[in-house]
Amino acid sequence: MPDWKSGLAAGVQPAFPPSVVVAVKALACELPREHGLPLSRLFVPDIRNEAVRRGIVASIGETTIWRWLSEDAIRPWAHRSWLFPRDPDFEQKAGRVIDLYTGRWEGRPLRPDDCVLSTDEKTSIQARRRIHCPLSAAPGEVTRVEHEYQRMGAWAYLAAWDVRRAKVHGRCERKTGIAAFERLVDQVMSQEPYCSARRVFWIMDNGSSHRGERSDDRLKARWPTLFPVHTPVHASWLNQVEVYFSILERKVLTPNDFRSLTELEDRILRFQDYHLRTAKPFEWKFTRRDLHKLLAKVHAREAAYAQAA
């Protein structure tokens, strides 16, 4: 490709042919390691330098490149985590969870006396005692929180979200494990409406506290009406209790300023009751059709990744 460099007469903007624009955008979409660059991400100056080195252009301004990339929302400096599903039964397991959210199980509608619970553990919630007390908001000033703190310990918060009734049941434990999880199960299943329900579906991930057939058998032996439903591996986004955890994180745990573990536990448990005053069932819109489309896209990406590797 020939070098391009526009003459900069007074008031004349440099002009580049479309082929140069396309070549620079293609460069921005490449991974640096594919071309031996000692970089993890490309930024605009890197793209400019590489375009000149390759002879795509003789010179070009960073603002011009920025404008071209903005046209197609290309941001090679940004990144996010990506997990390829590795559960061979991902769609089947995820579909069962989605069916429960829409009020169905094995092709049939749930009855009014069926219960659906979404459960998980939020681990290592620290109690951070700030060296100086926070300063409250004022006109033109946001709340200010001291950066330095003293660690006062940490809780694991185990919770079960009632999908159909918008209720949450939870407890704080010093550590997670089989015993801690079964204490949560006993806490919930020993009260109404769960102790007299026809079926109580427990949606849970594959954490070590409740993983495998032995765990399922142990739970069902103690509570015959309990039906464990496991999400696929790498599918925490299917677990509705994670939505509640995000609310707890925003409204209670951020910024983190607690004088003791007792105060942290009290705040978490009192928030459960506080939240129930206005809580409504989450409006779940992700359907089986959406799941099928998503997995088709993931499999296409996986195939492209395998080919590139």
CA 264 to the chain's CA centroid:
24
Element at 114 (helix H, strand E): strand 114-130
Q: From 48, 82, 43, 265, select the one nearest 158 (Cα to Cα).
A: 265
Strand partners, 115: 200
Among 190, 250, 262, smallest CA distance to 223 is for 190
Measured CA to CA in angstroms, residue 74 lies from 26, 29, 62, 136, 175 at distances of 10, 8, 14, 40, 44
Q: How far is CA 148 from CA 125, 130, 183, 293, in A?
A: 17, 6, 35, 47
Position 1 scores a pLDDT of: 45
List per-residue pLDDT tens for the chain, 309 residues long: 444 444 444 444 558 999 999 999 999 999 998 878 899 999 999 999 999 999 999 999 999 999 999 999 999 999 887 777 788 899 999 999 999 999 999 999 999 999 999 999 999 999 999 998 888 888 988 888 888 989 999 999 999 999 999 999 999 999 999 999 999 999 999 999 999 999 999 999 988 899 889 999 999 999 999 999 999 988 889 999 999 999 999 999 999 999 999 999 999 999 999 999 999 999 999 999 999 998 898 888 778 777 766
Q: Hey, what are 148's tokens?
A: 């330095």
Please report, rounded to a whole number, the percentage of residues in the chain having pLDDT higher than 70.
94
DSSP state, 251? I
Q: How many CA atoms lie within 13 A of 247 on its CB side?
A: 17
Q: Contact 201/98 with Cβ under 8 angstroms?
A: no
Q: What is the pLDDT of residue 8?
A: 46
Give which of 147, 150, 224, 151 is closest to 185, Cα–Cα: 224
pLDDT at 285: 93
Max CA distance (Å), the chain: 85
DSSP bridge partners of 125: 155
The structural domains of the chain, with segments of one domain joined by +, span 18-71, 93-284
What CATH architecture does domain 93-284 belong to? 2-Layer Sandwich (3.30)
Cα–Cα dist 170/161, whole Å: 9
Give the pair of three-digit tokens for residue 157: 């918060």
- Residues 233, 235, 236, 239, CA torsion sign: negative
